[in-house]
């Protein structure tokens, strides 16, 4: 193993040079490496399962052209991004994950589109819109990102969604229960 090997990482059989994005003029902080070979998108639950989402995103930007998070709850994504000082490389819209992922795929010109999720529903989504699927555990292992428990604020945000839904449904005058 040479010293340069430390800056290379194998990703699904592709060697991805992670060490010189800034040397090639890549914007590591926003928009990733313009010469990167992939668009990498996480579900919110996958991003929450990372021990250090900020470090994982910084690492991914070294070898990805675009990095981001999608979820059906745009507000929860915005809160997560703010809490971890992260930015999506695309605009968040009030679309579901399906529409957002399809739109990102059409608007990015990378040869690979990789969707990191947590379960069978995420795999179906990736298959339907033509993206590669990787379970968060697999992606974290390959990229050497640590997994951890979601932070307390993330658990509270999840509970907040349920409470908001319950209030929305039960506070309606038309609701028969």
Pairwise CA distance, residues 88 & 125, whole Å: 20
Confidence of residue 8 (pLDDT cuts 50, 70, 90): very low
Q: Chain-wide mean pLDDT for the chain?
A: 77
Per-residue pLDDT at 62: 92
Pairwise CA distance, residues 109 & 116, whole Å: 19
Side-chain half-sphere of 6: how many Cα atoms within 13 Å?
A: 2
Do residues 126 and 133 touch, judged by C-beta distance below 8 A? Answer: yes
Per-residue pLDDT at 91: 86
pLDDT in tens, 80-104: 999 999 999 988 888 889 999 999 9
Q: Which CATH number fits domain 3-148: 1.10.3470, 3.30.450, 1.20.120, 3.40.50?
A: 3.40.50
Task: Kindly state the DSSP code that residue 131 receives in the 8-state scheme.
Answer: -
Q: In sequence order, what are the residues at sequence separation of 6 or more whose Cβ sits closer than 8 angstroms to the Cβ of residue 163? A: none
CA dist list (Å): 71 to 20, 29, 116:
31, 22, 12
| Residue pointed to by tokens 């998108």 | 41
Order of all β-strands in the sheet with 132-135? 66-70, 38-43, 112-117, 132-135
Q: In sequence order, what are the residues at sequence separation of 6 or more whose Cβ sits closer than 8 angstroms to the Cβ of residue 84? A: 53, 54, 57
Residue boundaries of the structural domains of the chain: 3-148
Quick check: helix, strand or coil at residue 142? helix
Q: Strand 14-17 to strand 8-11: parallel, antiparallel, or no bridges (unpaired)? A: antiparallel
Task: Kindly state the DSSP code that residue 87 receives in the 8-state scheme.
Answer: -
Confidence of residue 138 (pLDDT cuts 50, 70, 90): very high
Confidence of residue 11 (pLDDT cuts 50, 70, 90): very low
Strands (E), 49-121: 66-70, 112-117
Is residue 31 pLDDT above 90, yes or no? no
């Amino acid at each position: 193993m040479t010293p340069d090997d430390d800056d290379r990482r194998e990703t699904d059989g592709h060697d991805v040079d992670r060490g010189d994005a800034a040397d090639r003029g890549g914007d590591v902080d926003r928009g990733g490496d313009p010469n990167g070979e992939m668009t990498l998108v996480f579900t919110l639950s996958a991003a929450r399962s990372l021990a250090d989402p900020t470090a994982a995103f910084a690492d991914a930007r070294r070898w990805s052209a675009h990095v981001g998070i999608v979820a059906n709850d745009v507000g929860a994504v915005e809160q997560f991004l703010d809490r971890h000082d992260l930015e999506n490389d695309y605009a968040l819209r009030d679309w579901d994950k399906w529409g957002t992922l399809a739109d990102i795929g059409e608007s990015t010109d990378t040869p690979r589109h990789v969707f990191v999720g947590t379960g069978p529903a995420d795999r179906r989504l990736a298959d339907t819109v033509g993206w590669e699927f990787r379970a968060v555990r697999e992606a974290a292992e390959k990229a050497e990102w640590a997994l951890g428990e979601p932070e307390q604020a993330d658990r509270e945000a999840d509970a907040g969604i349920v409470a908001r839904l319950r209030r929305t449904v039960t506070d309606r005058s038309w609701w028969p229960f």
